[in-house]
Structure 1
Amino acid sequence: MGRSRPFWRLTPAERRVWEAFPTGAWVDLRTGDSELDDPVHGGMWGRERTVRAEVLTALLLGARPGEGGRVAGLRLAGARITGVLNLSDATLTAKLHLLNCRVTDSIALMDATAKGIRLRGCDIHRIRAARCTVDGLFELDSCTVHAGVRLDNARITGQFRLANSHLYAPENDASSSESFKADLRRMYSETERAERGWDQHHWSLWAGGLTVEGGAFCRDLRTEGGLRLIGARFNSGLYLQRAVIRGTGNHAVYADHLEATSVEFSQGFTADGTVRLRGARVTGVLSFHDAVLSAPGRCLHLSHMQVDELILRPARIEGEVNLGYSRIGVLLDQPGAYPGHVRLNGFAFESLRGGTRLRDRMDWVSRDPDGYRPQPYEQLASWYRRIGHDQDARRVLLAKQRARRATLGLPSKVAGYLLDVAVGYGYRPWLAGAWVALLLAAGTAVFTAYPPSQVGLDERRIFHAFPYTLDLLVPVSVFELRGAWEPVGWTQWVANLLITSGWILATALIAGATRVLRPPAS
């Protein structure tokens, strides 16, 4: 009859599951009382709702074949499952669907291959599914997992759903801490564990190298522990709208070298700890719109990324932002997105949207905690030139030279101040004309009141103060009045000052016109 069982005795609940498996029918052990049926109270459920994990394992591993014309499957609601549901290394042809169940120990799917796994509204001790392959949907919807989920190097060809779930890091569960530490000691060196902080096992979701072909929907997720997504690939996007990630270590999200078509940390997404996406590749939008981000020290570590569009308009942010050496197509942000330090050295973008006021951008490029960096100024000036705002570009480059001046020694600082006052480092050549006009007016007034004496008395000359002052200001005498008239008394100092100023201004004007006297970038 195909009804033999590898067990001496089955409970009534187990017998119902055993009989329903070949047809894939639902077995519902719930009472109808919503409060009593909550898996949080699963510890109070009696024998009539208790199913041993080894019975479910036997069924999923082929203890009962499916009936002809029917698709076998395990569909169980409202059960208390005891023991480890160990499906590691197995190839599952039947789908696993648990609804409102209490799983008192781990679900082990390491190196397993499954058609589809759906866990909805369940209370689970721990999920270990490293290197597993799910050819379809992997759903953890509205579940509570007390000692973390491991999906490192797993592959999911369908969607990954983690919406409305609550995950805790293994450190919150004493019974799993030692085994978790043993896994880390076996897999990684002491140096690497120390550098990454892995000995602290602060991760509620450990999913480095995870590949999801369908969308990864983690909206309204709640965690007590970080998300470790190093090298993960989300080929149809990662969506964490309204998720609340409370890192118990330094990081809320650790996702170096992540690849995705789009990533949404938006619509109230909250991270308590650093969000790190160093080296990430996002071919669409990476959004922090209306997010709440906070961490001691560095809040957002977004360096060395390549992103088509970065939306950085959080509701609140506390901590440093690092965008160094990233390549962004469109940056949509606002001045309030950077309340603290911001690292921009090596940062490149094609277009800026949102806060584009010159004053805000000048402040933006000047807030590197390591001090003056020339590249952010050059990048910003280049963008202003591309959009036809040449005057704003010159102002940015002038600010660059002034910021650089603060890093120089005293002689170079003095020379810099002279260049700044004379012609604005070459970006304000009209200043030289203003100085010439001022000196010309002052000299004319002085020599009108105190005319010089004629050098040669063989002929009678009439003195004119204006051309005489102009002749002193021009580096090469044009009117030949310098040799014909000799200043007297203190006006000799005025004449020497005019001659010296003329040479300085002429040099500065040439520098402004030809841009050959720019201080080198450093």
Structure 2
Amino acid sequence: MRRSRPFWRLTPAERQVWDAYPSGAWVDLRTGDAARDDPAGGAGWGRARTVRAELIVALLLGAHPARAGQVAGLRLAGARIVGSVNLSDATITTKLHLLSCHLSGVVSLTDATVRGVRFRGCDIHRIRAARCTVDGLFELDACTVRAGVRLDNAHVTGQLRLARSRLHAPDGPQTATESFKEDKSRPFTDAEKRERGWDQNHWALWAGGLTVDGGAFCRDMRTVGGLRMIGARFNSGLYLQRAVIKANGPHAVYADHMQASSVEFSAGFTAEGTVRMRGARVAGVLSFDMAVLDADDRCLHLSHMQVDELILRPSSARGEVNLGYTRVGVLLDHPEAYPGHVRLNGATFESLRGDMTPADRLSWVSRDPEGYRPQPYEQLAAWYRKIGHDPEARGVLLAKQRARRATRRVPGRIAGYLLDVVVGYGHRPWLAGVWFALLLAAGTAVFATHPPAQVGLDERRIFHPFPYTLDLLVPVSVFEQRGAWEPVGWTQWLANVLIASGWILATALIAGGTRVLRPSNTS
């Protein structure tokens, strides 16, 4: 008996698709001419290459079941598909594979469950696959999507492939089903929505809550509009080598609280806008090696992250870098990674590698836009001590005290300058020895030519300028020369200066030593 079908009038192209579906055979409507087969011009393809979206939907929903012993599937190349492919809420047990097709409508997989979806070299108006479950491969290889891709809260058990794709943010206003549900008592402005990532028209890829069990391969992808991946999980990694992301607003990538085994923004990856991954967790490598980062305000917002290895070696960067409160296992970087301000307060790291000299590191910890922060200095000094570089650690702590001095009032600054000049805040105690030697030499020379008068004349004494000067400098008289001789004339002032200098040197040594030995959290 002849099977019934919902379409009695089929074009020749549709008839081929209908007949091929039960066996999963390919239907190729291409001409072989590359220019004529370009799906960007598919709107002009005639009736011979036109297939209605309703037919594709009907077949995938079981209108023409598979033949016994065969696996059904829709495999179509070089077709102009008119209308929207609406498979929302459906359960599809066969695969959909389109090659070099032109789809003028929306491909809707919202809340659907599908076996596998492959679009290669297609020109598509829009894809909506929120909360979709793909039990296999979801591929948009070398495709152009004109009005964005929605994958929020979708689950892909296989791989996600967006390699060589071209994604554009939506052009028109949001639909009622996609609008942001704001607080009616205080409506947000368009600018506030863009800043918070709530405006879907702002994003080429809207994928908050997406889970991909296989790798997510987005190499050589180009977008006009950002990538929104808040809370996404990439269990086998996210790879965006050579991708170019041009933001329509402040953020090129918005991936707060994302989780991934590894993330590659490398090998020519370009972001025109902020790459934001606040609170993200990367169990392996997060790499910006040879990336181009360009933002007016902040090029990298990586605060509150946990990452095993962070590679910050971009070929070009412009903007602020925020690593505040981030925990890094290994940080591999170079000075060009920090072109502007650097936020490091609360950041911790286990190992530092790369081309940063101690001077570069000092500049690195001192460029917080909010001013002096003690923790980055302490963290850097602790790391230098950990690897046995005590001189570098002392240099960092000295720089910390100098930066702190600028935040104090005038008396504190004066005392700080004195401690710095005399003993380097206790981190350069040898300076006190230098000052002591200079004062001792000067006093010895002066008193050798201008000897003091003897105090008591009952016994004859021989004056020696060196022990006399030394006795003046030492706070407690050791050689009993200070009471036996009385300076005369202007040398009285020199004697008083030497006595005062001795007390100052001793006090500075004690204060500096106390500052070094006491717990750092009190400084």
What range is the shorter-chain TM-score in?
over 0.9
Is 1:402 matched with 2:402?
yes
Count of aligned pairs between the two proteins: 517
SS in 1 for 2:96: strand
Deviations 1:111-141 (A, max 9, x none): 0000100000000000000000000000000
Letter in structure 1 aligned against 2:131: R
How far apart, CA to CA, are the structure 1 residues paired with 2:40 and 2:520? Answer: 69
Quote how far apart the aligned CAs of 1:198 are: 2.6
- Supply the distance in 2 between the matched residues of 1:256 and 1:318 (Cα, whole angstroms): 21
CA distance in 1, matches of 2:216, 2:231: 15
* Counterpart position of 2:418: 418
Matched residues in 2 for 1:37 and 1:265: separation? 33
Partner of 1:36: 36
Q: Which residue of 1 aligns with 2:122?
A: 122
Query: SS of the counterpart of 1:201?
Result: helix
Tell me, yes or no, if the aligned pair for 1:425 and 1:518 is still in contact at 8 Å.
no
Structure 1 residue 85 displacement after superposition: 0.3
Deviations 1:79-123 (A, max 9, x none): 111111000000000100000000000000000000100000000
Q: 1:312 to 1:475 in 2, by over 3 A?
A: same
1:70 aligned residue: 70
Counterpart Cα distance in 2 of 1:482 and 1:392: 42
In structure 1, the partner of 2:389 is 389
Match for 2:46: what amino acid? G
Letter of the structure 2 residue corresponding to residue 469 of structure 1: T
Aligned to 1:183, what secondary structure does the other structure show? coil
- Alpha-carbon spacing, 1:230–1:490, altered in 2? closer, same or farther (3 Å): same
> Which deviates more from structure 2 when the two are superposed, residues 504-513 or residues 50-59?
504-513
Partner of 1:496: 496
1:91 corresponds to which letter in structure 2? T
Matched, 1:473 2:473: yes
CA deviations on 1:290-312 (whole Å, 9 max, x unpaired) are 11110101111111111100110
Q: Which residue of 2 aligns with 1:273?
A: 273
Give me the whole-angstrom Cα distance separating, in 2, the residues matched to 1:36 and 1:128.
28
The answer to whether the Cα contact below 8 Å between 1:511 and 1:517 also exists between their aligned partners in 2 is: no
Q: Deviations over 1:180-222 (max 9, x none)?
A: x652234787448365143372100000000000000000000
CA distance in 2, matches of 1:520, 1:460: 58
- The DSSP-based 3-state class of the residue aligned with 2:90 is coil
Does the Cα contact within 8 Å between 1:2 and 1:64 map onto a contact in 2? no
The answer to whether the Cα contact below 8 Å between 2:200 and 2:206 also exists between their aligned partners in 1 is no
- Secondary structure of the residue that 1:290 maps to in structure 2? coil
Change (3 A) 1:202 1:209: same
Look up the match of 1:365. Answer: 365
Report the Cα distance in structure 1 between the residues aligned to 2:401 and 2:292, rounded to whole angstroms: 36
Q: Give, in whole Å, the separation in 2 of the partners of 1:347 and 1:461.
A: 67
Counterparts of 1:469 and 1:198 in 2: how far apart (Å)? 77
Q: Does the CA-based 8 Å contact 2:293-2:314 persist in structure 1? A: yes
Matched position secondary structure for 2:314: coil
CA distance in 2 between counterparts of 1:238 and 1:410 reads 53
Deviation at 1:518, TM superposition (A): 8.9
* 1:427 aligned onto 2:427: yes
Evaluate the alpha carbon distance shift between residue 352 and residue 163 of structure 1 in structure 2; reply closer, same or farther with a 3 A threshold. Answer: same
Q: Runs of 5+ in structure 2 lacking a partner?
A: none
Q: Pick from 175, 180, 183: which aligns with 1:185?
A: 180
Query: In 2 relative to 1, CA 436–223 (structure 1 residues): closer, same or farther, beyond 3 Å?
Result: same
- The equivalent residue for 2:153 is 153
Residue by residue over 1:155-204, the C-alpha shift from the partner in whole angstroms, topping out at 9 and shown as x without a partner, is 0000000000000001xx33xx241x652234787448365143372100
Per-residue CA deviations over 1:278-328 (Å, capped at 9, x if unaligned) read: 111101100001111101011111111111001100010011111111011
Native 8 Å contact 1:212 1:233 kept in 2: yes
Q: Which amino acid in the other structure matches residue 198 of structure 1?
A: W
| 3-state SS of 2:179 partner | helix
What are the superposed Cα offsets for residues 408-442 of structure 1, whole Å, 9 maximum, x if unpaired? 11110000000001100000001111111111111
Q: Secondary structure at the match of 2:432?
A: helix
Deviation at 1:507, TM superposition (A): 2.1
Aligned to 2:245: 245
Contact 2:419 2:512 in 1 (8 A): no
Q: Secondary structure at the match of 1:471?
A: helix
Trace 1:148-297 onto structure 2 (pairs within 5 A): 148-170=148-170, 173-174=171-172, 177-179=173-175, 183-186=178-181, 190-191=187-188, 193=193, 196-199=196-199, 201-297=201-297
| AA partner of residue 180 (structure 2) | R
Tell me, in whole angstroms, the C-alpha distance in 1 between the residues paired with 2:400 and 2:37.
Answer: 66
Aligned letter for 1:185? F
The CA distance in 1 between the partners of 2:245 and 2:69, in whole Å, is 46
Q: Secondary structure at the match of 2:7?
A: coil
User: Following the alignment from structure 1 to structure 2, what is the Cα–Cα distance between the partners of residues 110 and 364?
Assistant: 47
Distance change (3 Å), C-alpha of 1:238 and 1:194: closer
Partner of 2:92: 92
Worse overlay, 457-466 or 308-317: 457-466
Q: Which moved more, 1:459-468 or 1:120-129?
A: 459-468
CA distance in 2: counterparts of 1:521 and 1:247, whole angstroms: 45
Could you tell me how far apart the structure 2 residues matched to 1:308 and 1:13 are? Answer: 54
Tell me the amino acid that sits aligned with residue 3 of structure 1.
Answer: R
| C-alpha distance after superposition, 1:198-252 (max 9, x if no partner) | 3372100000000000000000000000000000000000000000000011110
Distance 1:443 1:201 in 2: 80
CA distance, structure 2, for counterparts of residue 188 and residue 77 of structure 1: 46
Change (3 A) 1:435 1:130: same
Contact in 2 for aligned 1:38/1:100 (Cα 8 Å): yes
**Cα drift, residue 519 of structure 1:** 9.0
Answer yes or no: is the 8 Å Cα contact 2:178–2:200 preserved in 1. no
Task: Please give the root-mean-square deviation of Cα atoms over the aligned residues, in Å.
Answer: 1.6
Could you say which residue in structure 2 is the equivalent of 1:51? 51
User: Which shows bigger deviation, 131-140 or 355-364?
Assistant: 355-364
**Equivalent position amino acid for 2:497 in 1:** L
Comparing 433-442 with 2-11, greater Cα deviation is found at 2-11
SS at 2:70's partner residue?
coil
Contact 2:174 2:201 in 1 (8 A): no
Q: Residue 143 of structure 1 aligns with which residue?
A: 143
CA distance in 1, matches of 2:344, 2:312: 14
Residue 354 of structure 1 aligns with which residue?
A: 354
Structure 2: which amino acid aligns with 1:256? D
Give the structure-1-normalised TM-score: 0.96
1:3 is displaced (CA, Å) by 2.7
